[in-house]
Amino acid sequence: MQNGTSDDVKKIVTVLNEAEVPSEDAVEVVVSPPFVFLQQAKALLRPDFAVAAQNCWVRKGGAFTGEISAEMLVNLQVPWVILGHSERRALLSESNDFVADKVAYALAQGLKVIACIGETLEQREAGTTMEVVAAQTKAIAEKISDWTNVVLAYEPVWAIGTGKVASRAQAQEVHDGLRKWLHANVGPAVAESTRIIYGGSVNGANCKELAAQPDLDGFLVGGASLKPEFVDIIKSATVKSSSA
């Protein structure tokens, strides 16, 4: 998200650094500030939390003014990048194929990728949710062979920043469908090992019931990541293990 100042970054990082959260074995925490604050966040953040860029260019750097290349992120030792966010798909017309090319190039440079997929309200109301997310995932699957460093982030566009949240049943249904799609089209091992996380108005109040769903492997957190409740969301990662 395009939010914050350097002082805001300091405040948020301070809260995170002081938080008591489960160990890295239980939950992997990745913080994704805007490009201009990446170095600051990385320098201040506790070592068990990683940073991610919010985007990168589709191929090697060059005459692409205003863009940031995967190589630059590697050079800065930024391990993660978020690609295909719904806002970039909608506002900047990034197609499924373009996003897939980005994912493939970033992976080839050694970055780990959070690849975003999701349907609009119109698509959900038309009953095409699974068609849409399957097509978005298929484009990526056609360009990569190794899923080790890919996390899929399902973000229903109608639930991003709107206060509307997919019910736990709606979220689980899509995550289950995505896992079945991966099983049938990529392979059982990839379907089992690939993390599918949920994004869309996740907050401290709803994170536990969402985290308890069998096919939700974590969250891509928006507005709530700017608030202290982000710590509660991190802690919700242990819901499954504590109820097992």
CATH numbers and ranges of domains, the chain: 6-242 (3.20.20.70)
Using 50, 70 and 90 to split pLDDT, how confident is the model at 242? low
Q: Which is more confidently placed, 165 or 21?
A: 21
Look at residue 201 in the predicted model and tell me its pLDDT: 87
Q: Which has the closest alpha carbon to 129: 164, 181, 189, 81? A: 181
Look at residue 240 in the predicted model and tell me its pLDDT: 76
Q: Which has the closest alpha carbon to 83: 28, 149, 146, 142? A: 149
Using 50, 70 and 90 to split pLDDT, how confident is the model at 244? very low
Active site residues: 85, 155
Using 50, 70 and 90 to split pLDDT, how confident is the model at 241? low
138-163: buried (b, 16+ CB within 10 Å) or exposed (e) per residue?
ebbbebbeebeebbbbbbbbbbbeee
Q: State the amino acid at position 65 in one-letter form.
A: T
What is the residue-averaged pLDDT of the chain? 94
Flag whether pLDDT at 79 surpasses 90.
yes
Using 50, 70 and 90 to split pLDDT, how confident is the model at 11? very high
Alpha helices in 109-187 (DSSP H): 121-125, 129-141, 168-185
- The answer to whether 177 and 199 have CB atoms below 8 angstroms apart is no
Q: State the amino acid at position 59 in one-letter form.
A: R
Q: Which has the closest alpha carbon to 171: 132, 211, 225? A: 211
- Tokens 């890295």 locate to 24
pLDDT digits (tens, 9 = 90+) for 109-166: 999 999 999 999 999 999 999 999 999 999 999 999 999 999 999 999 998 877 777 8
Flag whether pLDDT at 28 surpasses 60.
yes
Q: Which has the closest alpha carbon to 53: 88, 21, 81, 27? A: 81
